[in-house]
Structure 1
C-alpha cells in the first residue's frame, strides 16, 4: 500500500501518516498506533530516535505555498506526485518525508534540512514559487530537484509536464474541429506551469494560423467561484465570443463553463472548452471537460530518480526534464 492508500484506509491525512512514519510529534497515541501498525504491515520501517535514519536516508518533499495567492491548490496533482515519488524512493532505499513551507519559513526550513545528516536531498514542489526569489535556494548545498516550475534560464534541476507541447496539442485539436477563432481564459497569477502556458498559447496560435482577438482574452482568478463571477461579468458586457476557449487549468475552465451555461450558452455547441491538468473536477462537469493530462506519478518518479542520482553519484550538471502530456477528449469539444 502507498502512503495515500494508508491515509484513505485509516481516515487520516497524508501529513498525519507522514508524521507517524518519521516519528514526529503531534499525533495522539491511539492514532499513532493504528497508523504505525498498517505501515509496518506494508513494509515500512518506522524511524526511532535510537535507530537513526531509515535505510540510506530520507528524501524530503518540500511543498512551497506562497502567502496571498488567490488560487485553489491542485490536490490531485500533489497526490499524484506523491503516489509516484513515495514508492520510487522506497524502491531505491529511501524514506520520503513531507514538509509544508511558506514564504516566511523557507530559509529556516532549508537551513534545518541542510543540518540534518539523514536528509539526502530535497524535492521542491515550486508551483507557487516566484523564480525571481531564486537566491533563497542558492545557499542550499544538498541535491535539489524542483517540480512544476522550470526555473527558466536558472541553474536548477527541474521536472515538469511539457506545457508548451500540451497547448499545441490542445489548439491543434480545436483547429481540427473547425475552430479558427480561439479565446484564452488566462490565470491572473502566472505561477509555475501557468507561465509556460501563457507563453505557449501565443506561440501555438501563431504556429497554427489561428485568430486571436484581444477581446477574447479573459483574465480570471485561480478560484472556481471567482472565475465564475468574473466570467459572468465579462459576458454581461455583451462581448463577441470565439467559438472555443483554452483555459490555463481545469479550475478556470470549470468556473467559466458554469458562467457560460448560466448565461444560456451551450457547451460545446456555442462555445467549446479545453482545460489543462485532468483533475477530478474535469469529470464531474456536464458535459465533462476535454483537457490535457500529465502522468503525475511518473513526474514524481522522475524527480526521485534524478535526486537519487545526484545524491549517490555526486552529479551537479543541471538537467531540465519534461514529460509529454496527453489530450483527453470529452464532451466540451
Structure 2
C-alpha cells in the first residue's frame, strides 16, 4: 500500500501543505530546518517516493522512479564536497561521458550530493529525469535509501564494495591495499604506517583500503603501531596535515620506514610534509599510494602507486547500466577490473 502525504504529515505532526513544501523545497514559505529534517526522516522511514513535480504530489501521479525511456543517464558524486576536484573521480567521469555518448545516450545530470539537503537532492533528481544513474564515492545509509527510492536503475563504481543490492564495477581497493603493503614488505620494511580514512560510514561502505593494510600486517605477523596511523580525509591538504602531525608527535628519528597512503593525493601531501621537515623520500622513508593519478608521475620523486583503471571503471559502469535499462537483468552483478603496481622512485629496499 502506498504511503500518502497525509500519513507523513500525521506522523510529523505538521500540515499536509508543510510536507509538500518541504519535499518540493518551496523557498517562498520555507519550513524550519528542524521541520525539514523531521519530514525527510519520516519520508525515508516510510519509503515514500515523491512524485515528479509539486502539482502531482497530492494527485498521486507517477513517481520519478518509473519515468524511464529518456535515453539519459545521470552521474552522482556521493563522496566529499571536493569530489569534482579529485582527479580520480574526474577520470572515472570522463569514462562515463565517453561511453554515454558512444552508446547514443546523453548525460542527463552530473552533480555532487555531499552536504546537500534531501529536498535539494530530490529537486536535482527530478529536474532532469533519467533512465538510470552511476554513483561514485562513499555514501551514508540515508543517501543510499533515498537514491534507491528515486532512481530505478543504479550502478556503483569505485574501489570499495558496497553490497547495496545494485550492480557494482569495482577495482578492489582491499586487494590493492594488500598489494601495496606486500610490496613494502618485499623491500624489507617492517615499520609501516598508514595515512587515510580508517572509519566505516554508517555500516554502508567500509573503508577497505585500511582493512587491507591491517589484514596484511596481521597476516605477516608484523605489529600494527597506532602511532603510525593517521585518520584523514582523502585530500592533499589532509595528507600533508596527517604526515606533519606524525612528524611532530614522533620526531624524525621514530617515524616508520615506509607509509602506505590510501590514495595518491594523500601520498603527495605526505611527501610535501616530509620535504618541509627535511626528511628525504625514499632515502629516509618510502611512500606508496593508490590510484595512479596523472600527477603521480610528475612529482619528485615519482610516486610508486597501485594503478586503478579509472576511465575503464566509468565505461564498464555505463555498459552495465545500459544493459540493465535495455535488457532488464534483475540479479545484482559485480564486475572486478584488475589493478597493477607502478614502480617509480618513492620506495627503496632497506637492509
Task: Provide the TM-score with structure 2 as the length reference.
Answer: 0.69
Q: How many residues are treated as equivalent by the alignment?
A: 271
Partners of 1:328 and 1:267 lie apart in 2 by 17
Are residue 214 (structure 1) and residue 226 (structure 2) matched? yes
Q: Which residue of 2 aligns with 1:42?
A: none
Task: Indicate the structure (1 or 2) with the bigger Cα radius of gyration.
Answer: 2
Q: Which residue of 2 aligns with 1:77?
A: 88
List alignment gaps of at least 5 residues for structure 2.
1-68
Q: Which residue of 2 aligns with 1:277?
A: 291
CA separation of 1:194/1:223 partners in 2, compared to 1, >3 Å: closer, same or farther?
Answer: farther
- Shift, 1:226, TM fit: 4.0
Partners of 1:288 and 1:276 lie apart in 2 by 13
- 1:62-211 correspondence to structure 2 within 5 Å: 62-64=76-78, 66=80, 75-102=86-113, 103-104=116-117, 105-113=120-128, 116=129, 119-125=130-136, 127-148=137-158, 150=160, 152-187=162-197, 195-211=207-223
Q: Which residue of 2 aligns with 1:288?
A: 302
Are residue 258 (structure 1) and residue 268 (structure 2) matched? no
Partners of 1:194 and 1:74 lie apart in 2 by 23
Partners of 2:206 and 2:259 lie apart in 1 by 16
CA separation of 1:72/1:273 partners in 2, compared to 1, >3 Å: closer, same or farther?
Answer: farther
Partners of 1:74 and 1:194 lie apart in 2 by 23
Q: Which residue of 1 aligns with 2:52?
A: none
- Shift, 1:120, TM fit: 2.3
RMSD: 2.7
Partners of 1:153 and 1:315 lie apart in 2 by 17
CA separation of 1:106/1:300 partners in 2, compared to 1, >3 Å: closer, same or farther?
Answer: same
Q: Which residue of 2 aligns with 1:314?
A: 328
Partners of 2:283 and 2:206 lie apart in 1 by 27
SS of 2:237's equivalent?
helix
Partners of 2:77 and 2:241 lie apart in 1 by 30
C-alpha offsets along residues 201-258 of structure 1, whole Å, 9 cap, x if unaligned?
A: 1112222333321211123343323432442232123352211100111111111112
Of residues 277-286 and 196-205 in structure 1, the stretch that sits farther from structure 2 once superposed is 277-286
* 8 Å CA contact retained: 1:243, 1:272: yes
- Shift, 1:65, TM fit: 5.5
Q: Which residue of 1 aligns with 2:38?
A: none
- Shift, 1:161, TM fit: 1.7
Partners of 2:328 and 2:209 lie apart in 1 by 33
CA separation of 1:138/1:152 partners in 2, compared to 1, >3 Å: closer, same or farther?
Answer: same
- Shift, 1:322, TM fit: 2.4
SS of 1:260's equivalent?
helix
CA separation of 1:151/1:161 partners in 2, compared to 1, >3 Å: closer, same or farther?
Answer: closer
